[in-house]
Each structure stands twice: as structure tokens, then as C-alpha cells.
Amino acid sequence: MKINYYLLLIALIISANMDAQNKRLRDYGIEIGVLKTGKLNAITDVEGVTVGHETIIEGDNVRTGVTAIIPHQGNVFQNKIPAAIYIGNGFGKLAGYSQVKELGNIETPIILTNTLSVAAATEGLISYTLNQEENKNVRSVNSVVGETNDSWLNDIQGRHVKEQHVLNAIANAKGGNLEEGNIGAGTGTICFGYKGGIGTSSRKLPESLGGYTVGVLVQTNFGGVLEINGVPIAKELNKYPYLDKILNDADGSCMIVIMTDAPLNTRNLERLAKRAMLGLAKTGGIASNGSGDYVIAVSTAKENLIPYQSDSMFNEKKEVRNDDMSPLFLATIESTEEAILNSLFAAKTLTGRDGHTIESLPIEKVLELMRKYNKIKQ
């Protein structure tokens, strides 16, 4: 009986520790913006969207991975999706940009990884597409792959991401609650001098504004002067760019993926994507010279999917009017800001290549500052 009591006590302690580790921004009483979140406060609040990860941690020096975002559960090549890509700052190697810019759609899942693994990710997407029975006659695939440079913590020159890792990430994709922080493409990333990673958030518009959902997923690997809900965290903690050239260098990158069920054309998707950079700026990001800040915006509205082959000369679409875009803009800004902050709150201290260690955000100190500025909801 006594043994069972101790086992129960140990289980409760482990459970409590896991709950503490899995806390997100709102769990601490910090609320971003004015719009309501989706049920999960994640990109998977958008119907049909799934996310998968493949985390690669090997030995002392390999700290990297792959994240896959799948916009719908059909054959993405056969039913392409309206999309746009906005370049906030173009110091990056995003694959697939020119065809998306020209045609206004994507035809593969979106893959995020590290800078020198874009080629492997592209190969993985090509194999994934060609391996589907309906695509047996396909002769061209526009893989969409985003990246950030995780070389401080990861042996990036070793190019440890392989095609199979990409296929695994796609196969692992699921809906529901998502893991954040040190996972998938966020395994080796750094944000504002702290451990960064994968983060996500969403907003659900009221029915009077269309009732649409906007979901955002980020891969954070950039710098700047960190602010949380207007509180000058970096200034208060004396940790911001150029005080310390190594840990607080502002260079880096941020990949931002937006999914919405609002029926939007490519032009308005690009307008939506531009607003994500405002969300990044609200966290203190500065889109520095060496930063590759890319935003991929996708409309998953079923009525606007684009068939690979059609007997009709025309695409008939329902599209949100320009005059009704502003609520979606706000939803994007708020979701991006919160997704970035969620990546920081979820990430854990990590040691990687050559013994380099990046500490996680000092949450207790941050909470003290949030209370000082009356920014925690009681």
C-alpha cells in the first residue's frame, strides 16, 4: 500500500512538471490582442490543416529537424490552393517562390527546415508528390520549402536532414494540439538571444465579421529588442542586439506560415502576409540585414481549390471583398505576435554544436516584469 502511495506521488510530481513545461503564454495570464483565439489557439484550428515534425538530435552536435504543414487532406497537387508569399527581408533560401508568385497557388505541403537542407526537403516533397497514384503522369513539381539557419547549435554543414526525414514529418502530420518549442524545424533555433523554436496561434472572427479562422505557425530564429505585450523585456533584462555580438546578434530568420479558411484571392493573401510582419515587429523583431523573413499565406477555402485538370476554361471563385479584409489583417497580426511568443515560452535550454548552450527565456523574471507593468490578467 505504501509503495502504491509513493508511486502515485511520483506520478503526480512528474505530471505537474510536464504541465509546467507545456505552459503557453495565455496559461500565465498574458493575453495578446482583442480577438478571440480558436479552440486550440493553433494553426490546426483551420479545418483540414495538419502539422508534422521530425526532430533530429544525434550525438553532441546535431540539433535540427523538419516541420511539415499540410493545408488539406486531399491530393494537394491535384487540388492546388490559392497562396502568396511576402518577403519581409530576403536574406534566405526559400524554394518555390517564383512559381507561387507567377501562378498564385501552391501544389505541395509546406516544409520548414535548416538553410543547407532545402535541397533535401525539396527532394522529399518531389518524392511525396510523385508517389501518389493520381500523380503518376506528373512531370513538374514546385516544392515550397522555407528555412532558417540553425548553425550555432547544429552541425549544419553535415546536412543531416535526409529525404526520409521529410517524408516522416509529412506522415506524422496531425490535427489537434501541437507541440511547440524545440521540435522539428525549431530544434536548433535561437530567438532574441534565447532558445527559439516552433510556435503557433490562431484567431476566430465573430460571425458578424465572417466567422473565419486565421491560424499561424512560426519558426523563430531572429533577433531584435524583445517586447511582450508592450513590456520592454529586453531593455529591463539588459539583453538586446549589439550588447553581446554572439548571443544577441539581431541577424537570423523567421518563417511565418498563415492558413485561413477565408476565401481570398492571391492579391489579398499577399496583403494578409504583409500584416504578419507587423506582428513580428510587435515582439521587437527588426528584420535585420541578415534576416530571411518570409511569410507564406494560404486560403484553404474548399470552394476555391484549383483543380490540376479541368474541362472548364474558367475558375469560379467566391472571394472576400477588399472592404472586409481589415478584421483578417488584425487576426493575422495578433496570431503572429502570439505564435512567436509561444515559441519562446515553450522552448527549453539546449546545448549543441561545439558545446554551445542557449538558455531558454527566463520565464519567472519575465512574469515579474509583466506584473510590474500590470500586464498579467488576474
Q: What is the pLDDT of residues 247-269, one digit of tens each?
A: 446 678 999 999 999 999 999 99
Catalytic residue among 143, 202, 291, 299: 291
Whole-number Å distance between alpha carbons of 124 and 128: 6
Task: Answer yes or no: is pLDDT of 245 > 70.
Answer: no
Q: What is the pLDDT of residues 275-330, one digit of tens each?
A: 999 999 999 999 998 999 999 999 999 999 999 988 888 888 899 999 999 999 99
Catalytic residue among 253, 288, 299, 360: 253
**Which of 147, 179, 182 has its CA nearest to residue 357?**
182
Residue 312 confidence (pLDDT): 86
Task: Answer yes or no: is pLDDT of 199 > 90.
Answer: yes
Residue 313 confidence (pLDDT): 85
Task: Answer yes or no: is pLDDT of 372 > 60.
Answer: yes
Whole-number Å distance between alpha carbons of 131 and 279: 38
Task: Answer yes or no: is pLDDT of 19 > 80.
Answer: no
> What mean pLDDT do residues 193-222 have?
98
Residue 315 confidence (pLDDT): 81
Catalytic residue among 143, 293, 299, 335: 293
The letter for the amino acid at 226 is: L
CA distances to 96, 105, 266, 272 from 102, rounded to whole Å, are 10, 9, 10, 18
Residue 13 confidence (pLDDT): 45
Task: Answer yes or no: is pLDDT of 192 > 50.
Answer: yes
Cell of 91: 536574406
Portion of the chain with pLDDT greater than 70, in percent: 92
Residue 241 confidence (pLDDT): 75
Q: Where are the domains of the chain?
A: 26-308+317-369
Place of cell 482583442: 34
Q: Which residue has the higher pLDDT, 37 or 2?
A: 37
For Cα atoms 167, 171, 177, give the angle at the middle one, nearest 5 degrees: 130
Residue 377 confidence (pLDDT): 81
Which alpha helices (H) appear in the chain, and where do they start and end? Answer: 2-21, 97-103, 118-130, 163-171, 233-237, 266-282, 326-346, 363-372
Please give the backbone phi and psi of residue 158, each rounded to the nearest 5 degrees, phi first. Answer: -70, -15
* 150: annotated active-site residue: no
* 335: annotated active-site residue: no
Any idea which fold 26-308+317-369 has?
Answer: L-amino peptidase D-ALA esterase/amidase (3.60.70)
